[in-house]
Structure 1
Amino acid sequence: MNSSFALLWCVRGSSVVSVSLAVVISAVCAMESDEGVGPEASKKGIGASANLSAPDNLGEPAFDEARSDSGSLSKVAPNRPDQIKGKMSETAEQEPESKLIWPPTKGDLLRLYVEQRLSARRIAKLYDLKYASEKTAESTVLYHLKRKGIERRDPAEHIRKVTEEMVDEWVKRYERGESLKQIAGSQVSPVTVFTHMKRRGLQLRDKIEAQIEAVSKYERRPFTGDRLDKAYLTGLRYGDLNVVRHGRAIRVRLSTTRPAMAELFESLFSPYAHVSKYPRRAKLAGYEWSLESDLNDGFQFLLFKPTIGELETLSKDEVIAFLAGLFDAEGSVYLHNKRGRRNPEVFYSNTEPDLLAYVAAGLRMMGLNPKLTWIDQRLNRNGIEGASRIGRVLLFRFREVQEFLRALPLRHPEKAAKSKLVLGVNYRASESEHWEFVDMWEKLSAQIASDRDAFVQSARRAIESKTRIGI
């Protein structure tokens, strides 16, 4: 019996799961070395393979090797060499993962992220990180990359690598009849090729643009508002809106604990694109809702806040629309005690002195008399103590408050409801009329507070539900 046949015979006769190929080869080589090759050696080889499964040989090296690898002797080993090879290959692939220990070393992160070019999410899975969401685990890995001084890959790197010479070649290939996918190859995406060729003004073949647009999950419609709508949205942008470019879209985002603000966001942007809504944790309220929408390129005007100099070029009606948007984001209507009564006041609050000065100037243009004050914040919206000073532009005269609310096209449901209540009472109302107004105000305020609490609790329940089912 030759050595290869003896090797196969040993494997087929064994009941051990994880006897390594190296051990079997070592045993065969030892038999050939000690006994020679021939009939007698073959018999001894057969005997050795039979003895591998015998209980009295559990102390032999082959069994020690198998026990340390598999931890069990109860399973039957694969009886073909290709099965053994596949098993060993699978074990070899899993071996690096089993050696990873958290927190990660810089060497491991360099190997996984830089050399192997694994994503942060994939690395988190290799370390078996357990968090409420995959995004949290991914962020944890990114934090350690930054801490170890490992620079993150640029997701748009391939776009910036495109040169004019490359586009020249793409145009030639496209005119020869190649598809966008063929031109892109493995270097870039077909969308990148499409974008650069469109910039060149190349007339693309029929249906190409429609196919590219079909990649988008939701339709994005162009902005159709007038200059007053644009001024209102600009005011809202100065307040609560966060706006970034996201691929080919303009992404607007908002986080809030107030259902009325979420309703306003949806009413403004759902006519143009899909609005997503998801819960998140918040430092001050505990929980809140985040909303976002990916808008058409026609909303580019929201990407950057205009300078005060640019705002000063607005017409009077555009200034009023801007003040309405800013008030819906940063303004408040409330009652204060004055001469035994509770009269309404309105104010804008912000930390930017130039913006507040512009607001005060706009109110004076409307014939009003605002007052600008500054106070120290105890906590800012991120829960940071003593973070900064906050300014207020205040209107406190009853008639001026009514004139202000009458002039502004407010769209925030809470503030519009309060405005309607204030405009419905005479500033010279009798005692009974006044206290009837106060009673209606308190009922409205209680309803607003109740709706806000329910909104926050719905975010909490949504997060807890996701945690329970392991999303």
Structure 2
Amino acid sequence: MKITPEILEEAKKLYLEGNSIRETCNVLQNKFGIEITNEILRRKLKRLGLIRSNSVAQKLAKRKHLPIKEIIKLYSKEMMSLKKLAKIFKSSKLTIRKILEENGVKIRNNEEAIQLANTKHIKLPFDGNECEKAYMLGLIKGDITPFPKSKFTLKLTSSSSRKAFIELFKNVFGKYGPTYIYVIKDNLSHYIWKITSELDLSSFNFLLSPQIDFLQKNKQLMLNYIAGIIDSDGSIFIRKTGKYFQY
């Protein structure tokens, strides 16, 4: 049977998909009932400029079994790392990277990869108004400790025997990032709650070095700030010291 343009086009498609000359011949034989030797097909493909070098053929043979569409989806949609993809599909990071690049997928840079690796849970940026910001600053001034957990994460921690405060903490900060509540014993063997939240550092860094100058020009903002302090501490004492008041 003569090799028609249709058969040759199918052979070209199969070969470009990574099949070897022998594998392509076998598929053509099963599909079209044609007997064609490896050498004849090789010559046909060579005239089209498609014959691969041995090194390229070996590389393709190693990754021919890899599900390209699934790899692209897991990397682009599920934000899976090259390292994890290589482990799942028993391949190398270089091979996975090559597959993605050949299919027009932009590879994440080192900073993006590091940030993604440190982001196990979604952290939303602060999107509140100045009143909410003032209230949060008051809470931090009271009984909440902020500190940077990583380059991208701000961690807040506090403990209390008052369940109402734990609920307040969760309601204020829990909508922005993962929040965890534990029951622990204090030094007097009393059970108390410990609560932590992990927030987006870039938008919540105002909690690390609270500047309250802007509050003094707005009565409502100052009231929100004081409300945060009282809600966090539970009580407030004011006393006069010379010309100043202390709390």
* Structure 2 length-normalised TM: 0.49
**Length-normalised TM-score, structure 1:** 0.27
Greater RCO (CA < 8 Å, at least 6 residues apart): 2
* Higher Rg of the two aligned structures: 1
